[in-house]
A and B are shown apart, each in its own frame.
Chain A
Amino acid sequence: MTMTDLRERPRLDGGDQPPAAPRGKRRRRSDHPLWFLAPALVVVFVFFFLPTLSNFFYALTDWSSFKSEISFVGTDNLTALFDNGTLLDALRVTVVYAVLVAVFQNLFGLVLALLLERDNRLNRVCRVLFFIPVIMSALAVGYVFQALLKPDGGLNQALGFLSGTEVQIAWLGNTTWTIVVVALIHAWKWMGLSMLIYLAGLKTINEDVLEAARLDGATWWDTFRRIRFPLLAPAVTFNFATALLGSMNGFDVVQATTEGGPGGTTELLNIFIFRTFGQGLFAQATTMSLVLFVTVTLMAVPVIWYLRKREDVL
């Protein structure tokens, strides 16, 4: 079709015709009518905007499975959740979890990328192996780790074998450290993705610049700290933002390992929403999901703005 059109387009005779005319024609042809967007917009509207908007609405009602009708209650849900401390607790747990995941995932991803940077057969195989958790089901990952970390699970048995005494550490039953353990599992699952992006970032650094640094007397560590890491800024932005915001919305790994326990110390907003929804308290669950939505948005903007600023010079 296009081929024919190009071939049949009349040639310009001489130079008297302004070149703008055929170009304008071509632009018109390559532009599609705006109404072609309609199906996509309808899908986005029905399945994304409408639920989000109704989220705002239901958060202001007393919708639950215990009542036959829904009535407007204003900000009662929010006030109640705030007053009994549930909201702030869940919010705090979520933010701590997200920051831990973002730090661990980036750290692991970056270390892996540096270790597997050189293109040889062994490294290529290792890259694939470390990427496998990314494509695994998060629930499956969670259940595997749950089995490993049980008091009589694989890890304690291995530690017991090595130390010669019986080890009974409750990895998933500690009110202080379990959130770190779960964040480590989450980071482990996704570190392959960060690794891939860091590898790509490392590849974009001009080889001459690294050689210049070597001639300037830089050691491996100098080169990494003063040249390579600053030049990885775009990869850091992407990895940190996706890890942080992705784990704010985390659910599956935590659900599979601790279900929010022990004592609610790993109860992310999503776990809370899932639980309260299951209890039939729809309005409360909706209110929390609204809080999550707003929090993610509020965190995303400054984080991405700050990290982008670092990229400006590149």
Chain B
Amino acid sequence: MSTVEYVKASRLYPGNPVPAVDELSLEIADGEFLVLVGPSGSGKSTALRMLAGLEEVTSGEIRIDGVDVSDASPKDRDIAMVFQSYALYPHMTVGENMGFALRLAGVGKADIATRVARAAAMLDLTGHLDRKPKALSGGQRQRVAMGRAIVRSPRVFLMDEPLSNLDAKLRVQTRTEIASLQRELGTTTVYVTHDQTEAMTMGDRVAVLKDGVLQQVATPRELYDRPVNVFVAGFIGSPAMNVLPVTLTAEGVQLGDLTVPVGPAARGALGSGEGAQLGVRPEALHLTGDGTGLRLDVAVVEELGADAYLHGSLGAGDGRRPLVVRVDGRTPPRAGSTVHVGLRPDEVHLFRGGDGARVDAAG
């Protein structure tokens, strides 16, 4: 049961003027499941390793339960980590792997056996305790790595892309298992992934990083509905949000033949309107059927059963922009056809030019 705080924590690698993690400030509540997400090179793994003590904190602080641990060695932080490669000890049995930390801590043999057995039961590993990692499947190895963390009852769990080496089906299943296990144990968890679906489905809150800088930290719902900038808008959601350049007019912003009204405050925030962009998720678009709205040339139709996604382009010539629209899966238009789409004005996002920050359209 612990809280974690990053206070302007930075990691600068020697010989590189750009910090891998740049003044990260983040508070993680007791028992919370926080996901760090971002593309590769965004500094999410570095941020996690700083908390683990495997990377130096070059400036700022990291606190666990309010105590600065920036200079504490990993073993003194009482944290457990699940690695992407699982990092199991290949020469030890499953039981020995799980009990290793306890053995080093001088816990009695009987006590170790009890705790290992309890964790093994939770993870369905009871029958495999005497086997070596080599003899296990990928999913079982992943569970051993989890077990090794659980057995210690640490203050914080750290997970660095623990599902990346599993096949797609197992990944979805394990995702749920980890999330429910974490809720059952109530241990504060920091989870790193590059997969926004994983982030959205598992996290109580999600922190989005880009180039070492924290973009936004919020609940999955908030991130989806109110992304603070173009980057978060494009990163969260699958398929990604459509982001289209718009021009500012007297009535609002103009996209092709469509005009989206904006409030006076938004108009002020947009300034000259130079570089302004409009974001609209595929499900906020719909087929009009009566020839009004935006003309879309459908190039590809992705049928997913319940839904279908139309991938097409708006406009003509140099002004052509790609657009994805979600439609009913039962009656999708054919590829190569031309359709007209409308959008729900209350579900659009406006981003100003320059820094791409969010502007509330209604404001």
- Bound complex: CA A227 to CA B84 (Å): 19
B162 to chain A, nearest CB (A): 12
Q: Are A216 and B85 CB-contacts (below 8 A) given A230-B91, A231-B90, A313-B134?
A: no
Count class of interface residues, chain A: 20 to 34
Q: Does residue B109 face the partner (Cβ distance < 8 Å to A)?
A: no
Q: Are B87 and A206 in contact (CB under 8 A)?
A: yes
Q: Which residue of A lies closest to B145 (CB)?
A: A212
Chain B interface, >50% SS class: loop
- Bound complex: CA A309 to CA B345 (Å): 71
Q: Which of A217, A227, A233 contacts B89 (CB 8 A)?
A: A227
Q: Are A222 and B87 in contact (CB under 8 A)?
A: no
Q: Are B132 and A211 in contact (CB under 8 A)?
A: no
Q: Are B90 and A314 in contact (CB under 8 A)?
A: yes
Q: Are B74 and A215 in contact (CB under 8 A)?
A: yes
Q: Which residues of B contact A215 (CB under 8 A)?
A: 52-54, 74-75, 79-81, 101
- Bound complex: CA A233 to CA B73 (Å): 29
Q: Which of B54, B85, B88, B148 contacts A214 (CB 8 A)?
A: B54
Q: Are A222 and B52 in contact (CB under 8 A)?
A: no
Q: Are B91 and A217 in contact (CB under 8 A)?
A: no
Q: Which residues of A contact B79 (CB under 8 A)?
A: 215
Q: Which residue of A lies closest to B75 (CB)?
A: A217
Q: Are A218 and B104 in contact (CB under 8 A)?
A: yes
Q: Which residues of B contact A211 (CB under 8 A)?
A: 52, 54, 74, 81, 83, 87
The 8 A CB mask of A225-252 against B (1 = contact, 0 = none) is 0110011010000000000000000000
Q: Which residues of B contact A217 (CB under 8 A)?
A: 75, 101, 104-105
Q: Does residue B231 face the partner (Cβ distance < 8 Å to A)?
A: no
Mark out the residues of chain B between 40 and 57 whose CB falls within 8 Å of any chain A CB in the assembled complex.
Answer: 52-54
- Bound complex: CA A227 to CA B87 (Å): 12
Q: Are A314 and B85 CB-contacts (below 8 A) given A215-B74, A217-B105?
A: no
Q: Which residues of A contact B224 (CB under 8 A)?
A: none
Q: Does residue A208 face the partner (Cβ distance < 8 Å to B)?
A: yes
Q: Are A214 and B91 in contact (CB under 8 A)?
A: no
Q: Which residue of A lies closest to B82 (CB)?
A: A212
Q: Does residue A114 face the partner (Cβ distance < 8 Å to B)?
A: no
Mark out the residues of chain B between 212 and 247 whose CB falls within 8 Å of any chain A CB in the assembled complex.
Answer: none
Q: Does residue A53 face the partner (Cβ distance < 8 Å to B)?
A: no
Q: Does residue A200 face the partner (Cβ distance < 8 Å to B)?
A: no
- Bound complex: CA A7 to CA B84 (Å): 43
Q: Which residues of A contact B152 (CB under 8 A)?
A: 216
- Bound complex: CA A190 to CA B75 (Å): 38
Mark out the residues of chain B between 284 and 328 whose CB falls within 8 Å of any chain A CB in the assembled complex.
Answer: none
Q: Does residue A209 face the partner (Cβ distance < 8 Å to B)?
A: yes
A192 to chain B, nearest CB (A): 28
Q: Which residues of B contact A218 (CB under 8 A)?
A: 75, 100, 104
Q: Which residue of A lies closest to B73 (CB)?
A: A214
Q: Which residues of B contact A226 (CB under 8 A)?
A: 100
Q: Which of A214, A227, A230, A313 contacts B75 (CB 8 A)?
A: A214
Q: Which residues of A contact B105 (CB under 8 A)?
A: 217
- Bound complex: CA A214 to CA B86 (Å): 14
Q: Which residues of A contact B74 (CB under 8 A)?
A: 211, 214-215
Q: Which residues of B contact A314 (CB under 8 A)?
A: 90-91, 134
Q: Are A313 and B87 in contact (CB under 8 A)?
A: no
- Bound complex: CA A116 to CA B271 (Å): 62
Mark out the residues of chain A between 160 and 186 whose CB falls within 8 Å of any chain B CB in the assembled complex.
Answer: none
The 8 A CB mask of B146-160 against A (1 = contact, 0 = none) is 001000100000000
Most buried by B among A217, A226, A233: A217
Q: Which residue of A lies closest to B100 (CB)?
A: A216
Q: Are A212 and B81 in contact (CB under 8 A)?
A: yes
Mark out the residues of chain B between 70 and 121 whose CB falls within 8 Å of any chain A CB in the assembled complex.
Answer: 73-75, 79-81, 83-91, 100-101, 104-105
Most buried by B among A209, A216, A217, A218: A216
- Bound complex: CA A91 to CA B242 (Å): 84
- Bound complex: CA A211 to CA B52 (Å): 10
Mark out the residues of chain A between 263 and 314 whose CB falls within 8 Å of any chain B CB in the assembled complex.
Answer: 313-314
- Bound complex: CA A216 to CA B83 (Å): 13
- A/B interface sample: 17 pairs, CB < 8 A: A206-B85, A206-B87, A209-B87, A209-B88, A211-B54, A211-B87, A212-B81, A212-B87, A212-B148, A213-B89, A215-B74, A215-B101, A216-B75, A217-B75, A219-B75, A313-B90, A313-B91
Closest 8 CB pairs of A and B: A208-B87, A216-B101, A212-B87, A217-B75, A230-B91, A217-B104, A208-B83, A214-B74
